[in-house]
C-alpha cells in the first residue's frame, strides 16, 4: 500500500467545447479528510465522478486505492463508498429494507441497524422512503454510502437539505469514520463544514486547483491582512483592510478622545480566501466588507 489513497496527475475532461477539468493534480493520503471547494461549474463533481469510475477522463493519470478507476473491477468497487448528489434509494421500500438490501452487495458490510442509528434514522427505520423529508432521504443516502465499510468514502454535497442539527450529527459521523481510518473526499458548498472537517482543502475554479493546503494555512498565506472597523463621530461606519492593524489602531487613537467607537479587528476567514480565489470578490467589494 502506498502512502496515497488518491493520486491524480494532469486530469482533464471536456464536454464538447467546454473544458470542465483542466489539469487537476490531487494527492490524498490514507486516513485523510480532504475537502474540495469551488463554485457551481468549477469541475468538482466531474472530478469526483472520475475518481468513482463512473465517468471517463480525456487525459491524465488517476490512481485510487492502487487502481485506475476506469478499469478497476468489482472487488475494488466494494472498497469505495459513494454518496451521490441525487437520491439513489427506491421509494417504495422502508429505510431498514433498503439498508439491508444494499448491505448484501458488500463482502464485509457494517451492521445495518448501527448504520441507521449513525445517520439518525432509527426513528424512521420502518418508514417508506417516499414518506421521508428531503433531509431524511439525504441521511439515507449517507447510510447507503457507508454500509459497505469503505476504505474510501466519496461525498458529493452530502449535507444538502440537512437542518443545522442534522448537519452537526453528520459531522460527528465523518469524524468517527476518519478516526476508524476511512479516507474521505468531500465536496461541499458549506465553508464552515469544510473548515470543521477537512484536514486539507483544494479550491477549484475554472477546472483548475487554485489553492491547496490546511484551512488555517490557507487563511494565513492567502488572506490579505486584517480588517479594522470603527464608527466616525458623525455615526458613519468605516473599515479598512490593512497588513498593520496595530498601527492603524494607533493612528485612530490620535483622532479620538478616549475609546474608539465600534472598534473591531477581524482576521481573514476561509470565506474571504475562497471568494478571492474563485474570483467572486473584487477589490471594491473587499473595501465594502
- The partner residues of 24 in beta bridges, in order of sequence, read 11
- Verify that 136 and 266 share a domain, yes or no: no
Q: What is the pLDDT of residue 282?
A: 37
Summarised one tens digit per residue, pLDDT across range 121-161 is 999 999 999 999 877 888 888 899 999 999 999 998 888 76
**Percent of the chain surpassing pLDDT 70:** 88
- Verify that 104 and 241 share a domain, yes or no: no
Mean pLDDT of 205-226: 78
Domain end position, chosen among 214, 233, 252: 214
Q: What is the pLDDT of residue 67?
A: 96
Cα angle at 277 between 36 and 279, to 5 degrees? 115
- Verify that 180 and 228 share a domain, yes or no: no
- Verify that 200 and 239 share a domain, yes or no: no
pLDDT band at 91 (very low <50, low <70, confident <90, very high): confident
CA distances from 9 to 37, 57, 186, 207, 208 (A): 18, 12, 19, 13, 12
- Verify that 128 and 252 share a domain, yes or no: no
Would you state the cell numbers that stand for residue 142, as one nine-digit string? Answer: 449517507
Distance CA 214, CA 206 (A): 21
Q: What is the pLDDT of residue 256?
A: 87
Distance CA 268, CA 253 (A): 23
Range with the lowest mean pLDDT among 85-99, 139-153, 194-208?
85-99
Q: What is the pLDDT of residue 4?
A: 94
pLDDT band at 279 (very low <50, low <70, confident <90, very high): low
**Closest residue by Cα to residue 143 from 160, 168, 122:** 122
Tell me which DSSP letter residue 123 carries: G
Cα angle at 26 between 24 and 30, to 5 degrees? 160
**Closest residue by Cα to residue 118 from 90, 78, 81, 93:** 81
- Verify that 158 and 273 share a domain, yes or no: no
**With 80 as the cut, is the pLDDT of residue 219 above it?**
no
Distance CA 196, CA 169 (A): 12
- Verify that 102 and 188 share a domain, yes or no: yes
pLDDT band at 177 (very low <50, low <70, confident <90, very high): confident
Distance CA 146, CA 23 (A): 30
**Percent of the chain surpassing pLDDT 90:** 45
pLDDT band at 223 (very low <50, low <70, confident <90, very high): low
Q: What is the pLDDT of residue 270?
A: 62
- Verify that 143 and 195 share a domain, yes or no: yes
Contact 70, 8 (CB under 8 A): no
Number of compact structural domains in the chain: 2
**With 60 as the cut, is the pLDDT of residue 286 above it?**
no
Phi, psi of 127 (to 5 degrees): -85, 145
**With 90 as the cut, is the pLDDT of residue 94 above it?**
yes
Q: What is the pLDDT of residue 3?
A: 84
Q: What is the pLDDT of residue 19?
A: 93
Contact 11, 25 (CB under 8 A): yes
- Verify that 136 and 225 share a domain, yes or no: no
- Verify that 25 and 51 share a domain, yes or no: yes
Q: What is the pLDDT of residue 289?
A: 32
pLDDT band at 165 (very low <50, low <70, confident <90, very high): confident
Domain end position, chosen among 214, 236, 270: 214
Domain of 266? 220-288
Q: What is the mean pLDDT of the chain?
A: 85
- Verify that 152 and 102 share a domain, yes or no: yes
CATH number of domain containing 54: 3.40.50.300
For the chain, the C-alpha Rg in angstroms (whole number) is 23
Domain end position, chosen among 178, 198, 214: 214
Mean pLDDT of 264-274: 69
- Verify that 197 and 229 share a domain, yes or no: no
Mean pLDDT of 233-241: 87
Mean pLDDT of 170-191: 86
Distance CA 263, CA 148 (A): 53
**Closest residue by Cα to residue 113 from 123, 126, 124, 122:** 122
pLDDT band at 285 (very low <50, low <70, confident <90, very high): very low
Amino acid at each position: 500500500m502506498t502512502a496515497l489513497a488518491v493520486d491524480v496527475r494532469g486530469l482533464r475532461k471536456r464536454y464538447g467545447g467546454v473544458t470542465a477539468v483542466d489539469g487537476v493534480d490531487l494527492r490524498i493520503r490514507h486516513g485523510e479528510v480532504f475537502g474540495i471547494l469551488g463554485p457551481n461549474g468549477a469541475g468538482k463533481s466531474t472530478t469526483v465522478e472520475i475518481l468513482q469510475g463512473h465517468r471517463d477522463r480525456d487525459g491524465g493519470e488517476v490512481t485510487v486505492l492502487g487502481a485506475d478507476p476506469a478499469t478497476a473491477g468489482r472487488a475494488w468497487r466494494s472498497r469505495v463508498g459513494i454518496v451521490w448528489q441525487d437520491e439513489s434509494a427506491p421509494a417504495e421500500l422502508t429505510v431498514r429494507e433498503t439498508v439491508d438490501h444494499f448491505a448484501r452487495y458488500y463482502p464485509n458490510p457494517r451492521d445495518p441497524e448501527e448504520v441507521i442509528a449513525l445517520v439518525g434514522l432509527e426513528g424512521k427505520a420502518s418508514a417508506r422512503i417516499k414518506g421521508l423529508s428531503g433531509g431524511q432521504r439525504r441521511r439515507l443516502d449517507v447510510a447507503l454510502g457507508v454500509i459497505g465499510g469503505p476504505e474510501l468514502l466519496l461525498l458529493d454535497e452530502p449535507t444538502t437539505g440537512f437542518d443545522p442539527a442534522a448537519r452537526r450529527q453528520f459531522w460527528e459521523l465523518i469524524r468517527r469514520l476518519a478516526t476508524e481510518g476511512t479516507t474521505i473526499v468531500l465536496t461541499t458548498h458549506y465553508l464552515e463544514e469544510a473548515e470543521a472537517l477537512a484536514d486539507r482543502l483544494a479550491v477549484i475554479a475554472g477546472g483548475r486547483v487554485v489553492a491547496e493546503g490546511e484551512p488555517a494555512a490557507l487563511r494565513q498565506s492567502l488572506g490579505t491582512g486584517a480588517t479594522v472597523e470603527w464608527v466616525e463621530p458623525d455615526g458613519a461606519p468605516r473599515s479598512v483592510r490593512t497588513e498593520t492593524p496595530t498601527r492603524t489602531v494607533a493612528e485612530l487613537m490620535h483622532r479620538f478622545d478616549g475609546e474608539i467607537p465600534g472598534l473591531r479587528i477581524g482576521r481573514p476567514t476561509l470565506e474571504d480566501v475562497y471568494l478571492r480565489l474563485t474570483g467572486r470578490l473584487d477589490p471594491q467589494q473587499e473595501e465594502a466588507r
